[in-house]
Amino acid sequence: MSKLKNAMTVDVEDYFQVSAFESHISKNQWDTLPHRVDRNTHHVLDIFEKNGVKATFFTLGWVAERYPNLIRRIVADGHELACHGYEHIRVTQQTPEQFRVDIVKTKQILEELGGCEVKGYRAASYSICKENLWALDILQEEGFKYSSSIYPVKHDLYGIPDAPRFMYEPIKGNNFKEIPITTLRFGNKNIPCGGGGFFRFYPYAFSKWAFNRVNNQENQAGLFYFHPWEIDPEQPRQKGLGLKTRFRHYLNLNRMEHRLEQLLSDFEWDTMENVFLNQVKKS
């Protein structure tokens, strides 16, 4: 087992809020659909408690307003509360002014409910890319200490393939950090291995090998993410989805919880703040 601690993160959103469903489910339908995010996230918290794991919860303001007791439990259980925007709008669909309003509003909601400072932000669908790096300046101006929004991979929905693979300072002259999801370098490509649909697609043995390689050969802390809906194989199934979307969303949902338990057991985990920000202060 690696001695390095990795960061465990959860993107707190419901199954109908994923970007891939945007053209199938409008936002004005959200309150009419069965909500499962509260139940599923409490179950995630139970799993973490059983395994002695602390994590960072990147949470939608929309969810926080409707489930304030969930936010209070996240904080009371010793986890880190972080911002995922208000209603999962990709930054590529926002102007700088709209983005600022969105993150300020959500930060205020989370801080008032959680009674703690919110330091971290993760964009919906990792939608900070080369065309909207202005978002990082706005995050820093509004009091955020780090972002986890730039995925250093080539993907049809997101990514900056040539971005650094590990924590870096994208804004010269201050201490603001960008902390990417974990990847492996193969040839001239970065291979995703830090969670989401890739974790459900790959055999678990590959994910375990990948994190061991990052920890032990590269001597770097890893960063993993998943969504509460990924441990919910009983969620309502959407009709009319394309083959790729259906495959990505529903693949191996019934295996996810067991794999997650294995991952929690095989490695050491903590919050983003403790793994990345606090280690910087000590150095």
Q: What is the pLDDT of residue 163?
A: 95
pLDDT band at 272 (very low <50, low <70, confident <90, very high): very high
Q: Which residues pair with 81 in a beta bridge?
A: 57
Q: Which residues contact 162 (CB under 8 A, 6 or more apart)?
A: 152
Average pLDDT of the segment spanning 144-162: 88
Q: State yes or no: pLDDT of 156 exceeds 90.
A: no
pLDDT of amino acid 282: 42
CA distance 31 to 130: 34
Cα–Cα distance measured from residue 265 to residue 220, given in angstroms and rounded to the nearest whole number: 19
Backbone dihedral region of 196: left (phi > 0), alpha (psi from -120 to 50 degrees) or beta? left
pLDDT tens sequence across 9-22 = 999 999 999 998 99
Asked whether residue 172 carries a pLDDT value surpassing 90, the answer given is no
pLDDT > 90? residue 55: yes
pTM: predicted TM-score of the whole model, two decimal places: 0.96
| Per-residue pLDDT, 158 | 77
User: CA torsion, points 190, 193, 194, 195, in degrees to nearest 10?
Assistant: 130
Q: Does an H or E element contain 191, and which?
A: strand 189-192
Pairing verdict, β 183-186 and 189-192: antiparallel
pLDDT at 173: 80
Mean pLDDT along residues 138-150: 98
Q: What is the pLDDT of residue 154?
A: 82
Tens of pLDDT, residues 100-133? 999 999 999 999 999 999 999 999 999 999 999 9
Q: For the chain, which domains are there? A: 5-282 (3.20.20.370)
pLDDT at site 2:
52
User: What's the mean pLDDT in 267-271?
Assistant: 98
pLDDT tens digits along 200-244? 999 999 999 999 999 999 999 999 999 999 999 999 999 889 999
Would you say 151 and 192 are in contact if contact means Cβ atoms under 8 Å apart? yes
